[in-house]
């Protein structure tokens, strides 16, 4: 399995329509990021599925570290694990 490519450090605000299913890029290689364009084929990764139960704007994770994929959970604002802040 290939590690996802980091495309953007911050979330993408994306409007979704009620009753529609969406596939969000998990590999970071999509030319339509944050939407899946099939570029994950052969990476061992699969897109993140999201069903919109109502129309709204959602925040789609762009950093690849959210525990609530495909939604941003605020992890992008914290330093990656294994790194410590100094000073």
Contact window for ligand FES (CB under 6 A) among 16-24, 29-37, 44-52, 59-67: 59-67
Asked if 24 and 47 count as a contact pair (C-beta separation under 8 A), the reply is yes
Rounded distance between C-alpha atoms, residue 82 and residue 65, angstroms: 13
For residue 72, state whether it binds ligand FES (rule: CB under 6 A).
yes
Cite the beta strand spans of the chain per DSSP E: 12-16, 21-24, 48-51, 56-60
Which one of the spans 14-22, 28-36, 39-47, 55-63 is the region binding ligand FES (CB under 6 A)?
Answer: 55-63
For position 48 contacting ligand FES by CB under 6 A, the verdict is no
For ligand FES, the binding residues in 6-35 under the rule CB under 6 A are 10-11
Interaction site with ligand FES (CB under 6 A):
10-11, 61-63, 65-66, 72-76
């Amino acid at each position: 399995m290939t590690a996802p490519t980091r495309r953007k450090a911050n979330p993408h605000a994306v409007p979704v329509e009620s009753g529609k299913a969406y596939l969000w890029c998990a590999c970071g290689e999509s030319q339509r990021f944050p939407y899946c364009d099939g570029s994950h084929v052969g990476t061992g990764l699969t897109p993140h599925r999201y069903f919109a139960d109502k129309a709204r704007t959602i925040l789609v994770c762009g950093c690849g570290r959210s525990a609530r994929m495909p939604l941003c959970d605020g992890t992008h604002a914290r330093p990656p694990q294994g790194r410590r802040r100094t000073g």
